[in-house]
Structure 1
Amino acid sequence: MKDFLPLMLDLSGKAVVIFGGGHVGERKAALFCEHAHVIVVSKEFTPRLIELSEKGKINLIKADLSETGISEFLKNAFIVIPATNDAILNEKIAELAGKIGILIDRVDGLGDIIVPSVIKRGDIVIGISTHGQSPALSKYIRERIEEAITPGFAEMSKLQNELREVLKTRVEDQKKRRKILWSIINDYEVWTALGESYDKAYMLASKHIDRNIND
């Protein structure tokens, strides 16, 4: 099994080329089009892919794939996804992409990257992966974590970020700033207030700063 390192990637302006216009290609295109420039190469496309293209979210290229043609479509690609219904063709695409150092996202999990199951709460992003061994278990873990990481965590993240900036202007000692922020995270009243009003939570959290500065 490969030893994968969890990373966050900024794909702005990067090209993700998907070979295959079926349901797997559709799922990958729907995911990556929110973060990158997506090109789908295939002889046919699902209605959803056509819809995404009409909305300007992806580019569709209708083509039969030969080795020469594949190489042409690999130019400027950052990530390549072989997702045709032809296993031999998928292997050829992966082989050609690998030779020129392009990252490969294979649906069998044997490529260079694995897209995890994701939980997003505002600026909080949590990825869960079983290295492709059990997508069902990834889903199960995600659902359990979703129960614990409520939308209030996104508000707490926003609150912490704002108060960090305030503390930089009022508290010189970094250890003391961390202590204050930690005390806010552990304040049940602040969490409760976040469920009612962000302003109320901010006011309660600010009292931690005042108390610690005056101590």
Structure 2
Amino acid sequence: MKELLPLMLDLSGKEVVIFGGGGVGERKASLFCDHSRVTVVSREFTAGLNQLSRDGKINLIDVNEITDDEISQYLENAFIVIPATNDIILNERIAKLAEKKGTLVNRVDGIGDVLVPSVIRRGDIVIGISTLGKSPALSKYIRQRIEEVITPKFELMSDLQNEIRELLKSQVKDQKERSGILWSIINDNEVWDALDESYEKAYKVASKHIGK
């Protein structure tokens, strides 16, 4: 089993090339198109992929049989390649050619260089859950359980922490003291309760911790 390091990547300006225009290819394209340039190479495309193309979110390349030289050509500027055809042998050919070029591979039928976790987003809070491909159902279950705890209110707390942290940088020189104030705010139930009413009220309550 590979040991994978969880990372967050800025894919803006990067190219993601997907081979396969079926349902899996569509899901991958939908995921990556808001974060990177996406090209889908296939002999046919789902209605969803065609719509993404019409919306200008992805580029479609229509091919029939494809040679290794053509695959290599499509991989030329790829940062991540996703072999997602219904042909296992073709997927393996694509993966091996990508690996030779040093291109990251996201496999749909096993563990490649890149795994896409199940994700929870609460504003700038991002939580990824993965079972390293063993059980997508369990990843989904864990995500649902965490969502019960990490509610949308955490997004407001993140914003509040950031605003007060910036304020403290100009008012409190000692880093440990700043950290202590921020922790006291996080652990103050009155602040959390105030967030249910308004951000402004929570800020007012949290401000009481400054200068204690």
Provide the TM-score with structure 2 as the length reference: 0.98
The one-letter code of the counterpart of 2:51 is E
Aligned length: 211
Gaps of 5+ in 1: none
Separation (CA, whole Å) in 1 of partners of 2:138 and 2:110: 15
Given that 1:105 and 1:113 are in contact with CA atoms closer than 8 Å, whether structure 2 keeps it comes out as yes
Counterparts of 1:25-174 in structure 2 under 5 Å?
Answer: 25-64=25-64, 65-174=66-175
Q: Is residue 29–residue 58 contact of structure 1 (8 Å, CA) maintained in 2?
A: yes
Q: Distance in 2 between matches of 1:136 and 1:166?
A: 43
Residue of structure 1 in register with 2:196 after alignment? 195
For residues 14-64 of structure 1, the C-alpha deviation after alignment (integer angstroms, 9 at most, x for no partner) is: 000000000000000000011110000001000000011111111111112
- Give the conservation status (yes or no) of the 8 Å contact 1:22–1:84: yes
CA distance in 2 between counterparts of 1:92 and 1:99 reads: 11
The amino acid across from 1:114 in the alignment is L
Q: Residue 44 of structure 1: SS of its match in structure 2?
A: coil
Which residue of structure 2 aligns with residue 206 of structure 1?
A: 207
Structure 2 residue runs of 5 or longer lacking an equivalent are none
Query: What CA distance in whole angstroms lies between the structure 1 residues aligned with 2:49 and 2:134?
Result: 28
Aligned residue identity for 1:193: A
> Helix, strand or coil for the counterpart of 2:59?
strand
Give the distance between the partners of 1:115 and 1:109, measured in 2 at CA. 12
Q: Is the 8 A contact 1:117 1:127 kept in 2?
A: yes
SS in structure 1 of the partner of residue 82 of structure 2: strand
Aligned equivalent of 1:18 = 18
Which secondary structure does the structure 2 equivalent of 1:119 belong to? strand
CA drift at 1:108: 1.8
Contact kept, 8 Å, 2:39 with 2:58, in 1: the verdict is: yes
CA RMSD of aligned residues (A): 0.7
How big is the shift at 1:160?
0.3
- Shift of the alpha carbon at 1:81? 0.1
